[in-house]
Amino acid sequence: MELLTAIGIGVLFAAGTYLLLSRNVVRVVLGNSLLAYGTNLMLLASGGLGRGAAPVLVEGVEVYTDPVPQALILTAIVINFGVTAFLLVLAYRMVQEHRSEDLAHLRGVDDE
Amino acid sequence: MNNLVTLPVLLPLATGILLLLLHGRVRAQRLISLLSALGALGLALYLTRVVWTDGIQVVQAGGWAAPYGITLAVDLFSGMMLVLASIIELATLVFLMRDSQLEQERVFLYPVLQFQMVGINLSFVTGDLFNLFVAFEVLLMASYYLLTAGGKPGQLREGFKYLVINSVASTLFLATIALLYGVTGTLNMADAARKVAALAGEPIVTLIAISFLIVFGLKGALFPLYFWLPRSYYHAPPGIAALFAGMLTKVGIYALVRVFTLIFIHDPGFTHTLILAIAGLTMLLGVLGAISQMDVKAILSYHIISQVGYMVKGLGIYTPLALAGTVFYIAHHIIVKAALFLIAGIIVRITGTTDLKRFSGLLASHPGLGLTFLATGLSLAGIPPFSGFFSKFVLLRAGVEAGTWGIVAVSLVVSLLTLFSMIKIYSRGFWGEATGELRPIPRLAYAQVMAPVLLLLTLSVGMGLGAGRFMEFALATAEQLMRPEAYIEAVLGR
């Protein structure tokens, strides 16, 4: 399970980084999201990957999963949702104004 | 337990919500924003005073005991940052109210400004790393809006890059938090400090420390991660640029100082030496970037980078005197930098450009502006009697005492080059024949945009003339930072 999660995180990070480095605006947005997913998995793994137990601690329960990472992931997902939504709108407006979705044309070295 | 600690966050939050309800009623929004900013300033001053007399103030949110709930804690360093944040907020507000270029996006300007302050203030008072992440996101979200509001092509383009870079940095921040949680099982800074102390020497701790350095280095524009700053600040609307230049990068520096004086202090031979080397490179490359530019805003943006190097240098030397220098420098820099960006905003209003090749001779028509710029520029370069001189002097002396001669030499050279580029702006932009088309500002509006600049300049002079008094405060702050046990005890209560 640990190995599988580690590989999964690695793949997400690698794919995210690859997309982030491409010149297309949409790919950059997608890469950003993939990186965030990888991080969420990483948060989950940081609490230890216990199986078959609820994140509840009451009298008499010996085995439980760590509830903190789950709370953190929930927050992180919401934040990422907001940021991605804003990013998409911004990308759309930018493409509209500049009539190009190729970041090589959006370097902006000489000014408008 | 002191609920006062929550107010610097709650006040702007409540104001922001109220302003949303007053949608479209600009006059009311202005008045309430101003009152709120004044209230925040008074609150921050009072809070700092309480910390000064009674020690570190702590609140456990919701009454959950320390390592489990979210801790809010204010020590002298946080207190000072809160005061500075509200001063800059006030100056920015007064300036923005006269900036007619922002007419069309006034709709959400004031509420979002308040949410920006929520994020900034929360990152100063929080004692919890995940909460710090949330605070960063709040302030970034607001900054995305403020940077792109108006929708000019350049703003959208640079805003997109700014957003992507900051989003990646936040992702890294979260990943680092996951690592730290995996290793120590805590997110509370004070508790993490204790757990990390028990793990001192483990390679994973160094890995986490360096990850934090990268994350905060990106936010605070340290070498080699400063590349995003000049262009995005260049395109920010004038008043907003002052707020960003004054406060935003400094939030990253605050977090860096906090983490590397509280949690990762057990291997200074590696971490703090690395920070020192980075500081030197940041200073040097930032100022070289500034020299190569021919635009007032671009020059000022590069100077932010070079000066972030100065602040971090004190952290790298890591003695009480050096940290006091860092504290002094941060205070000086925030005030002076915001003033300079406001002046750049006024120049844009008058000449329509900040390109030094396209205007000159402003001194003849606007002597007040010219002299104010000269004074502020000299303060930035470190000429007495302004605050810049004393803050640099303290850092130099700390460097000499610690025997770090390399960094002392670099900072002297950088100072000289800073002076050079300030004089370049002054001699090209203000001296000489008046060229370019001038659009004179009405007298009243001129007075109103100059007022915040003069206020900030007065503060800089005051900090210079009262350097002894302020140094006392800076030394006490550094003392607190150098002895994290007090902070840990105040938070964990044992």
The DSSP string of B436-487 is S---PPPHHHHHHHHHHHHHHHHHHHHHHHTHHHHHHHHHHHHHHHH-HHHH
A65: pLDDT strictly greater than 90:
no
pLDDT at B488: 92
CB contact under 8 A, A106 and B160: yes
- A66 to chain B nearest CA, in Å? 10
Provide, rounded to the nearest whole percent, the portion of chain B with pLDDT above 70. Answer: 98
pLDDT at B239: 85
Confidence bin at A26 (pLDDT 50/70/90): very high
B270: pLDDT strictly greater than 50:
yes
* Interface probe with A: pick from B112, B143, B157, most Cβ of A within 10 Å: B157
Residues of B in contact with A90 (CB under 8 A): 144, 148, 156, 159-160, 163
Which one-letter amino acid corresponds to residue B5?
V
Q: Does A32 touch chain B (CB under 8 A)?
A: yes
CB contact under 8 A, B187 and A69: no
pLDDT at B105: 58
Least confident of A49-53, B27-31, B199-203: A49-53
Mean pLDDT of chain B: 90
pLDDT at B460: 92
Provide, rounded to the nearest whole percent, the portion of chain B with pLDDT above 90. Answer: 63
pLDDT, tens digit (0-9, with 9 covering 90-100), for B69-110: 889 999 999 999 999 999 999 999 999 887 655 565 567 889
* CB-neighbour burial class of residue B6 (10 A; exposed 0-12, middle 13-18, buried 19+): middle
pLDDT at B242: 92
Q: Does A93 touch chain B (CB under 8 A)?
A: yes
* Interface probe with B: pick from A9, A18, A73, A83, most Cβ of B within 10 Å: A83
Residues of B in contact with A39 (CB under 8 A): 171, 174-175, 178
Domains: count for chain B: 1
Of B104, B48, B98, B118, nearest to B76 by C-alpha is B48
Least confident of B81-95, B160-174, B216-230: B216-230
Q: Stretch B231-252: mean pLDDT, rounded?
A: 89
pLDDT at B307: 92
Confidence bin at B493 (pLDDT 50/70/90): confident
Q: Stretch B264-273: mean pLDDT, rounded?
A: 89
Confidence bin at A112 (pLDDT 50/70/90): very low
pLDDT, tens digit (0-9, with 9 covering 90-100), for B31-55: 999 999 999 999 999 999 999 999 8
H/E segment holding residue B73: strand B71-74
Q: Stretch B224-244: mean pLDDT, rounded?
A: 88
pLDDT at B284: 93
Q: Domain span at residue B267? A: 3-492
Mean pLDDT of chain A: 87
pLDDT at B62: 80
User: Residue B196 to residues B17, B56, B199, B205, B315: CA-CA distances in angstroms?
Assistant: 40, 22, 5, 7, 19
A58: pLDDT strictly greater than 80:
no
Nearest-by-CA chain A residue for B69: A68
pLDDT at B352: 82
Interface of A with B in 42-81 (CB under 8 A): 42-43, 45-48, 68-69, 72, 75-76, 79
Distance from C-alpha of B248 to C-alpha of B135, rounded to nearest angstrom: 12
B175: pLDDT strictly greater than 70:
yes
Least confident of B71-85, B185-199, B422-436: B422-436
A39, A69, A108 member nearest B171 (Cβ) = A39
Q: Does B431 touch chain A (CB under 8 A)?
A: no
Structure tokens at B289: 């970037």
Least confident of B108-122, B290-304, B349-363: B349-363
Q: Does B141 touch chain A (CB under 8 A)?
A: yes
Distance from C-alpha of B56 to C-alpha of B50, rounded to nearest angstrom: 9
Q: Does B158 touch chain A (CB under 8 A)?
A: yes
Q: Stretch B130-147: mean pLDDT, rounded?
A: 94
Neighbours of A111 (CB within 10 A): 10
Q: Stretch B362-375: mean pLDDT, rounded?
A: 88
B131: pLDDT strictly greater than 50:
yes
B153, B163, B179 member nearest A112 (Cβ) = B153
The DSSP string of B344-394 is HHHHHHHHS--BTTT-B-HHHH-HHHHHHHHHHHHHHHT-TTSHHHHHHHH
B244: pLDDT strictly greater than 60:
yes
- B444 to chain A nearest CA, in Å? 32
Least confident of B10-19, B101-110, B469-478: B101-110
Confidence bin at B281 (pLDDT 50/70/90): very high
Residues of B in contact with A28 (CB under 8 A): 164
pLDDT at A13: 96
Structure tokens at B476: 């006490």
- Domains of chain A, CATH where assigned: 2-48+65-106 (1.10.287.3510)
- Contact B452/B90 with Cβ under 8 angstroms? yes
pLDDT at B287: 93
- A27 to chain B nearest CA, in Å? 12
pLDDT at B412: 92
Q: Does B179 touch chain A (CB under 8 A)?
A: yes
pLDDT, tens digit (0-9, with 9 covering 90-100), for B299-332: 999 999 999 999 999 999 999 999 999 999 999 9
Of B84, B86, B79, B92, nearest to B37 by C-alpha is B86
* CA of residue B107 relative to chain centroid, distance: 26
Of B334, B339, B323, nearest to B76 by C-alpha is B323
Residues 6+ apart with CB under 8 A from A91: A25, A26, A28, A29, A101, B160
Residues of B in contact with A50 (CB under 8 A): none
Structure tokens at A5: 């999660």
B494: pLDDT strictly greater than 80:
no
pLDDT, tens digit (0-9, with 9 covering 90-100), for B388-419: 899 999 999 999 998 889 999 999 999 999 99
Q: Does B295 touch chain A (CB under 8 A)?
A: no
